[in-house]
């Protein structure tokens, strides 16, 4: 089964503080529009699944943490859109699972989670939410909009530090599913931190 990770399509918005009366000129390096090189994404995700079976409360917890490697790609940000070109990375990590019966740990396991991702090009629209956040109008870039747990993330916190742009995206989904008459309560949470470096010509 092909897994698509999170971590997270996010990017930023230009913050302009020009005033006609003082004719202030804004340095383009102080805004978030422009061309950026993809540096990395670090992600932490957690999923819990609870259900009743045979009169006992069953629960499983799954975690996945990683930092992407072999990162390449470029992102162009305007005041309302984000376009990526040649975005690629690899992940080498472990999915850890813990199973409980009436809140007592019964077993645990882990399995490799290795992924090579490449997307020639993608596009999304966004809007500013205050001065430190953005919201994706169309769900975010496909490379980051879904996690392995298929939990949608709709926005990101942004921080610009010189030529480094950092974005933090939160994932949260609380749902109920019914399978063969069994009701499952599923909670999925996580964060994805993306780092971009301003492209130098």
Lowest mean pLDDT among 90-94, 154-158, 171-175: 154-158
Q: What is the pTM of this model?
A: 0.74
CA distance to 44, 82, 174, 191, per residue, from 5 (Å): 11, 19, 18, 12
Give tens-digit pLDDT for 35-87.
999 999 999 999 999 999 888 999 999 999 999 999 999 999 998 888 999 99
For a pLDDT cut of 70, what percent of the chain falls above it?
Answer: 77
* DSSP state letter for 28: G
Q: Kindly report the CA angle at 7 between 58 and 143, in degrees rounded to 5?
A: 125
The pLDDT tens digits of the residues spanning 99-108 come to 999 999 999 9
More confident residue, 154 or 52: 52
In the chain, the domains with their CATH numbers are 31-47+63-97+111-174+193-198 (2.40.128)
**pLDDT tens, 164-185?**
999 888 888 899 999 989 999 9
Is 111 exposed, middle or buried (CB count within 10 Å of its CB: 0-12, 13-18, 19+)? Answer: exposed
The overall average pLDDT reported for the chain is: 79
pLDDT value at 148 more than 70: no
| Structural tokens at position 34 | 């422009």
Mean pLDDT over 124-141 rounds to 78
Question: What six digits make up the tokens of 3?
Answer: 């897994």
Dihedral Cα 128, 134, 137, 139, nearest 10 deg: 170
Per the model's pLDDT, the better-predicted residue between 150 and 162 turns out to be 162
Q: What's the confidence (pLDDT) of residue 140?
A: 58
């Amino acid at each position: 089964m092909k897994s698509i990770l999170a971590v997270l399509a996010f990017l930023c918005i230009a913050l302009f503080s020009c005033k006609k009366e003082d004719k202030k000129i804004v340095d383009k390096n102080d805004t978030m529009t422009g061309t950026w090189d993809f540096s990395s994404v670090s992600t932490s995700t957690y999923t819990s699944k609870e259900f009743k079976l045979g009169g006992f409360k069953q629960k499983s917890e799954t975690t996945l943490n990683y930092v992407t490697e072999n990162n390449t790609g470029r992102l162009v940000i305007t005041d309302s859109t984000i376009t990526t070109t040649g975005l690629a990375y690899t992940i080498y990590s472990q999915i850890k699972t813990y199973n409980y019966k009436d809140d007592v740990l019964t077993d645990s396991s882990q399995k490799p989670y290795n992924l090579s991702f490449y997307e020639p090009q993608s596009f999304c629209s966004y809007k500013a939410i205050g001065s430190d956040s953005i919201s994706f109008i169309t769900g975010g870039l496909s490379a980051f909009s879904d996690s392995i747990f298929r939990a949608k993330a709709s926005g990101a916190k942004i921080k610009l530090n010189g030529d480094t742009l950092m974005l933090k995206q939160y994932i949260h989904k609380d749902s109920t599913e019914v399978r063969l008459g069994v009701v499952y309560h599923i909670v999925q949470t996580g964060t994805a931190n993306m780092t971009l470096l301003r492209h130098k010509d």
